[in-house]
């Protein structure tokens, strides 16, 4: 009997101790790396994860991110709402705060049920899986060995991190789908919010995704019933464990999902053109040997979590893009209407023969991305590539009413896209150079060429203030000084490079004697030519260079009328010098760059240069104020429609603008109405707008629609009306600062009295002056 008892006792202990011993051995074996490499203490304390670099606006909002596959930006525990953490614990790991990485009760329960009611993984184990073990294998043996590794890593994580840090890391790492890497990206993409601003309903949806982010993805039209059911499970768990009152849960279960799906991609969102320009700049910064990590390696823009603080103002950028979106469709609609009168063989081009159009399109073919890919990636010959442009294919094309799925030949699509006018717009604070808004086009997915910095177009009469400013600075001219408005020629070889230059006024119209203020306000070419004759092209070129113009400008008299091709970026910076009392300030778009730990890697240092005297700059501004008071910019002041503005009203939104504050500005229109410009200034904001088509042979038939006052000025007007409705932006509506010592007379009434009194001017001469 005793022997039987002993054997019975031995077998019972054997049965009891054997699995414990095996499990103990397996844990030990896993901890020594028997099932594969285990992370050491240093790796556990500093797990490597890819972090997206983040772009911030001057008002502290996230503009966008740069990343390859991981759109991840970590948050701290304090940035998580309490109900999100409660939902996570109630649904995923109710004993989270009492276990040390493994919930043995839950694990054994899951094992007994063979995982039918779900696995027994704790939040810590799930973090271990995300950090170090990856997705589970379908092979049962590999799955078991992976589990042992997860157990060991989970225990080690508990020793190295607080509970709050484990929760934070888990939510920062989880992939919520649709580039929603981590809780911050997910909150922004699915609800357009920061995590701290999530409500209970939204938190429950995101926690519900932790079971299967693909199956329970709330993206529109995916699985709304399944997502809602899973959300309700999370809410029920919160009620079960007394995180929420039952009556509140009953109410929440009836709520719709209330999504605000806002995908984050490189071709969508706010300031797409600026972001792409910034990316190019950051690549150059990263490649600079002076900007290296402590170990000497390069930073990676897509994975190192850099923080780039820009000068862009989020609200002003929104207003700028909205102004473009309001004006451009109406302008385009009018252009399409006028195109109906053109022959199909040349539309949308004007003044070109069908042969010239054919040549232009063939040149465009060879410059296209389609040609490049077929030539160099697919190794096709030229004839095969050219033939492909005449074969109809399925494609999605841009329209202002939304993208259109259609069938079209690539050649026809080229003509279609060429028929669209493109905008370029930049807004800058002249006092410090901070760029506040940047609109390089109307739709980055379809039109990727940036017309702020990269694009350069003929600037027309917007160049004339450089001529006037140079004359004022050198000759101390007054806005009230007078010049004859009659044909004028700069004679042969006076400046060593022309025979004779005789500019004409628009419409061949000439008048009487004009003051400088009247001449600039009405963009009179003959008076500008007379000024150029007195100071010389070299003087004007030097001033333009000092004002920040980067492009080479030939020192010929014709530049007075705006023949150079310049960018919106250059022109806004140059005009800002006038508003900034003659001091040029280099445009700024980055205030500072930090690494992922907040260490400052770059801080902007202002670059300024004295270009004009304060007096000359102020007098130039005074002349430019005349443009909006009595010249081509008076539409900014108009309070109602008249005969002159009826055509204008067909293509603008927000008109009449009815501005009453001081505004200095200049319109510009190039030959054949190919380019329309307007640059407008108030004391602390200078904004330049250009509108034109890709090819200069595409333009309006007449100047009523094709001038800068119709094409570009309305965008400025809509933008500034929006700005002045938001007092928090603190954009000035006051007068420009007047210099304390002003020797040049600006009051033309007093100027006239002094002229008569001195005997320099007769009464009849005064009567003949257009003031």
Q: Are 53 and 307 in contact (CB under 8 A)?
A: yes
Rounded alpha-carbon distances, angstroms, from residue 609 to 268, 432, 547, 580, 586 = 37, 12, 9, 11, 9
Read off the pLDDT band of 114 (50, 70, 90): very low
Confidence at residue 101, expressed as pLDDT on a 0 to 100 scale = 81
Q: Which residues contact 488 (CB under 8 A, 6 or more apart)?
A: 502, 503, 526, 529, 530, 533
Asked if the peptide bond before residue 656 counts as cis, ω within 30 degrees of 0, the response is yes
Read off the pLDDT band of 511 (50, 70, 90): confident
- According to DSSP, the β-strands at 608-610 and 435-439 are unpaired
Q: Which residues contact 611 (CB under 8 A, 6 or more apart)?
A: 543, 546, 547, 577, 582, 583, 584
Query: Stretch 295-301: mean pLDDT, rounded?
Result: 94
- Measured between alpha carbons, how far is 639 from 660 in angstroms, rounded to an integer? 10
What are the tokens at 617? 């700059």
- Measured between alpha carbons, how far is 636 from 663 in angstroms, rounded to an integer? 9
Residues forming beta bridges with residue 208, ordered by sequence position: none
- Measured between alpha carbons, how far is 351 from 354 in angstroms, rounded to an integer? 10
Query: Which range (38-47, 101-110, 707-716, 718-727) has the least confidence?
Result: 38-47
- Measured between alpha carbons, how far is 719 from 639 in angstroms, rounded to an integer? 18
Asked if the peptide bond before residue 468 counts as cis, ω within 30 degrees of 0, the response is no
- Measured between alpha carbons, how far is 278 from 660 in angstroms, rounded to an integer? 36
Confidence at residue 730, expressed as pLDDT on a 0 to 100 scale = 97
User: pLDDT, tens digit, for every residue of 690-704?
Assistant: 999 999 999 998 888
* Other beta carbons less than 10 A from residue 736's beta carbon: 20
Confidence at residue 766, expressed as pLDDT on a 0 to 100 scale = 47
Does 35 have pLDDT greater than 60?
no
- Measured between alpha carbons, how far is 206 from 216 in angstroms, rounded to an integer? 9
User: pLDDT, tens digit, for every residue of 42-86?
Assistant: 555 666 788 999 999 999 999 999 998 888 999 999 999 999 999
Read off the pLDDT band of 40 (50, 70, 90): low
- Measured between alpha carbons, how far is 506 from 37 in angstroms, rounded to an integer? 80
- Measured between alpha carbons, how far is 525 from 594 in angstroms, rounded to an integer? 51
Confidence at residue 697, expressed as pLDDT on a 0 to 100 scale = 93
Across 288-434, the runs of DSSP E, i.e. the strands, are 307-310, 393-397, 404-408, 421-428
Look at residues 469, 732, 503, 761 and name the one whose alpha carbon lies nearest to residue 623.
Answer: 469
Q: Which DSSP helix (H) or strand (E) runs through 584?
A: strand 583-585
What are the tokens at 165? 């840090």
Of all residues in the chain, the percent with pLDDT exceeding 90 is: 70
Residues forming beta bridges with residue 484, ordered by sequence position: 513
Look at residues 625, 618, 621 and name the one whose alpha carbon lies nearest to residue 662.
Answer: 625
CA dihedral 425, 429, 433, 434 (to 10 degrees): -80
Look at residues 55, 735, 731 and name the one whose alpha carbon lies nearest to residue 429.
Answer: 731
User: pLDDT, tens digit, for every residue of 556-614?
Assistant: 999 999 999 999 999 999 999 999 999 999 999 999 999 999 999 999 999 999 999 99
Confidence at residue 632, expressed as pLDDT on a 0 to 100 scale = 87
Confidence at residue 36, expressed as pLDDT on a 0 to 100 scale = 53
CA dihedral 556, 562, 563, 568 (to 10 degrees): 130
Query: Stretch 166-178: mean pLDDT, rounded?
Result: 93
Angle between helix axes 537-546 and 525-535 (nearest 10 degrees) is: 90
DSSP symbol at 634? G
- According to DSSP, the β-strands at 482-484 and 513-515 are antiparallel
């Amino acid at each position: 009997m005793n022997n039987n008892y002993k054997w019975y006792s031995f077998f019972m202990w054997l049965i009891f101790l054997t699995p414990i011993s095996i499990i103990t051995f397996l844990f030990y074996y896993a901890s020594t790396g028997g099932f594969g490499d285990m992370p050491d203490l240093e790796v556990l304390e500093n797990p490597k994860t890819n972090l997206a670099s983040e772009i911030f606006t001057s008002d502290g909002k996230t503009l966008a991110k740069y990343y390859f596959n991981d759109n991840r930006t970590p948050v701290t525990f304090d940035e998580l709402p309490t109900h999100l953490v409660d939902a996570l614990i109630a649904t995923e790991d109710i004993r989270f705060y009492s276990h040390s990485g493994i919930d043995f009760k839950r694990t054994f329960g899951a094992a007994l049920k063979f995982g039918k009611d779900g696995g027994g993984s704790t939040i810590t184990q799930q973090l271990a899986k995300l950090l170090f073990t990856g997705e589970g294998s379908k092979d049962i043996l590999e799955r078991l060995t992976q589990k042992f590794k997860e157990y060991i890593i989970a225990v080690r994580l508990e020793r190295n991190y607080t509970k709050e840090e484990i929760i934070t890391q888990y939510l920062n790492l989880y992939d919520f789908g649709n580039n929603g890497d981590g809780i911050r990206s997910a909150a922004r993409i699915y609800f357009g919010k920061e995590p701290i601003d999530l409500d209970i309903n939204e938190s429950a949806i995101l926690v519900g995704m932790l079971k299967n982010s693909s199956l329970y993805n709330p993206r529109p039209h995916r699985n709304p019933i399944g997502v809602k059911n899973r959300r309700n499970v999370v809410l029920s768990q919160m009620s079960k464990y007394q995180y929420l009152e039952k009556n509140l849960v009953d109410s929440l279960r009836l709520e719709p999902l209330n999504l605000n799906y806002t995908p984050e991609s490189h071709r969508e969102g706010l300031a797409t053109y600026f972001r792409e320009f910034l990316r190019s700049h950051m690549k150059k910064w990263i490649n600079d040997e002076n900007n290296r990590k402590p170990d000497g390696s390069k930073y990676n823009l897509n994975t190192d979590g850099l923080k780039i603080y820009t000068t862009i103002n989020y609200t002003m950028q929104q207003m700028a893009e909205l102004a473009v979106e309001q004006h451009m469709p109406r302008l385009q609609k009018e252009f399409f209407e006028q195109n109906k009168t053109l022959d199909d063989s040349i539309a949308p081009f004007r003044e070109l023969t069908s042969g010239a159009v054919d040549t232009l399109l063939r040149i465009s073919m060879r410059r296209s991305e389609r040609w490049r890919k077929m030539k160099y990636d697919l190794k096709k010959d030229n004839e095969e590539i050219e033939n492909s442009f005449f074969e109809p294919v399925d494609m999605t094309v841009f329209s202002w009413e939304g993208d259109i799925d259609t069938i079209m030949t690539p050649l026809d699509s080229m003509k279609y896209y060429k028929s669209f006018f493109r905008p370029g717009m930049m807004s800058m604070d002249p006092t410090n150079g901070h760029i506040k808004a940047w609109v390089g086009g109307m739709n980055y997915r379809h039109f990727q060429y940036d017309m702020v910095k990269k694009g350069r177009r003929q600037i027309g009469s917007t160049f004339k203030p450089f001529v006037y400013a140079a004359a004022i600075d050198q000759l101390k001219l007054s806005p009230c000084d007078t010049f004859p408005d009659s044909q004028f020629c700069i004679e042969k070889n006076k400046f060593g490079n022309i025979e004779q230059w005789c500019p004409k006024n628009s419409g061949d119209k000439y008048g009487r004697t004009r003051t400088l203020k009247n001449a600039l306000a009405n963009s009179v070419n003959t008076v500008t030519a007379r000024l150029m004759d007195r100071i010389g092209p070299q003087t004007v070129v030097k001033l333009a260079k000092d004002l920040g113009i980067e492009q080479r400008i030939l020192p010929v008299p014709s530049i007075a009328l705006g023949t150079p091709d310049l960018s919106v970026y250059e022109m806004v910076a140059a005009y800002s010098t006038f508003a900034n009392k003659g001091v040029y300030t280099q445009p700024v778009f980055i205030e500072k760059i930090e690494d992922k730990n907040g260490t400052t890697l770059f801080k902007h240092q202002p670059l300024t240069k004295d270009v004009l005297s304060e007096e000359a700059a102020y007098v130039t501004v005074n002349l430019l104020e005349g443009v909006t008071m009595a010249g081509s910019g008076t539409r900014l002041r108009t309070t109602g429609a008249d005969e002159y503005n009826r055509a204008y009203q067909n293509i603008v939104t927000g008109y009449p603008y009815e501005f009453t504050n001081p505004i200095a500005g200049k319109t510009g229109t190039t030959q054949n109405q190919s380019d329309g410009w307007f640059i407008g200034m108030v004391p602390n904001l200078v904004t330049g707008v250009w509108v034109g088509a890709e090819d200069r042979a595409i333009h309006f038939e007449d100047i009523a629609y094709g001038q800068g006052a119709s094409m570009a000025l309305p965008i400025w007007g809509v933008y500034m009306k929006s700005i002045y409705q938001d007092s928090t932006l603190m954009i000035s509506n006051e007068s420009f600062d007047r210099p304390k010592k002003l020797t040049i007379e600006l009051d033309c009434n007093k100027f006239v009295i002094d002229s008569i009194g001195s005997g320099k001017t007769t009464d009849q001469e005064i009567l003949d002056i257009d003031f």
